[in-house]
Structure 1
Amino acid sequence: MTVTADACPGSCTEVAERAWVQLIRAHRSALCSVEKALRAAELPPLEWYDVLLELEREGPLRSRDLQERLLLAQYNLSRLVDRMEAEGLIERTRCSDDARCQWIRTTTAGDALRQRMWPVYADAIRTAVESRLTKPQAAQLGELLARLSNCPKA
């Protein structure tokens, strides 16, 4: 007798499992193509862009607020911020009311780097999405993924 996922309490259906696998594969493929494009243009990794963009949109931010927005582990963010600060892309200052707190903000060099990275990133998005889906398909995919997301709309 074959036991299907439908028959096991707490398990997912085959259709949901297949959708999950395709979602992860598509995510990895898209990120890989973006990272490859950034490397080819001799630009830093995508996570640097994400930090700079969040700081541009909302900055300055405390470390913990930046961590929540980026969904990175604290130790990963600390190392990333250290590297970016060493490159002169961001700066940290202590909070006046809490010595443990730090404000992080972009520098002029950080703003310029993010602006240089965007055209490469945008072209990689076009290659990964627009070249493979029609506009209605891309819109439908966006709507479906939004239903799966717990994140606020961008």
Structure 2
Amino acid sequence: MDVLPSQDIQKAWARLVRAAEFARASVERDLKDAGFPPLAWYDVLLELDREPEGGLRPLEIERRILMAQYNMSRLIDRLVREGLVSREPCAEDGRGSVIRITRKGRDLRGAMWPVYAAAIQRHVGDKLGEAQAEGLADLLVCLMPADQKKPIPLR
């Protein structure tokens, strides 16, 4: 494994990381300026809202939004305190729990979406044409694991 990435691959990596971090930070700032919580809250609420019964185990949420377990535990604790989700014992495993979205959580996610959508448009859509966006999406999917390649709507 002595093969080093080419200059072009190093440049692509650096630009990918910088662009992703800049776009994410810009969206986070827009949400904060509108009085909303961080984007991670939206991501968790979205995943729970997509479930027919509104519940997932914490590990399932982690896998879907790619967050470290120690961060997920704290985030879920905050969401429970705010009344956005509930934590219930898991029927299959008494030691585990199931996290369920509440009506308040659904309402918050719904209220956040227009600001989030406008931020995506402002920080990404306004900088790319449709063909460029499609090309970028096609390129980025090459870097993703197979189970993450399916496009997932953010709404």
Q: Calculate the TM-score normalised by the size of structure 2.
A: 0.91
Instruction: Give the superposition deviation at 1:10.
Output: 2.0
Q: How well do the aligned residues superpose, as a CA RMSD in angstroms?
A: 1.2
> Gaps spanning 5+ residues in structure 2: where?
none
Aligned to 1:31: 24
Instruction: Give the superposition deviation at 1:75.
Output: 1.2
Is it true that 1:80 corresponds to 2:82 in the alignment?
Answer: no
**Pick from 17, 21, 29: which aligns with 2:10?**
17
The alignment-based identity, stated in percent, is 46
Is it true that 1:70 corresponds to 2:65 in the alignment?
Answer: yes
Aligned to 1:152: 149
Instruction: Give the superposition deviation at 1:69.
Output: 1.0
Aligned to 2:36: 43
Question: Quick one: distance in 2 between partners of 1:149 and 1:35?
Answer: 23
Native 8 Å contact 2:62 2:68 kept in 1: yes
Aligned to 1:119: 114
Instruction: Give the superposition deviation at 1:129.
Output: 1.4
More contact order relative to length (CA 8 Å, sep ≥ 6) = 2
Q: Calculate the TM-score normalised by the size of structure 1.
A: 0.92
Question: Quick one: distance in 2 between partners of 1:9 and 1:67?
Answer: 33
Which one-letter code corresponds to 1:37 in the other structure? Answer: D
Question: Quick one: distance in 1 between partners of 2:19 and 2:137?
Answer: 13
> Gaps spanning 5+ residues in structure 1: where?
1-7
Instruction: Give the superposition deviation at 1:28.
Output: 0.6
Instruction: Give the superposition deviation at 1:9.
Output: 3.0
Which one-letter code corresponds to 2:9 in the other structure? Answer: A
Which has the larger displacement, 85-94 or 52-61?
52-61
Which one-letter code corresponds to 1:44 in the other structure? Answer: P
Question: Quick one: distance in 2 between partners of 1:118 and 1:76?
Answer: 23
Question: Quick one: distance in 1 between partners of 2:32 and 2:3?
Answer: 42
Which one-letter code corresponds to 1:41 in the other structure? Answer: A
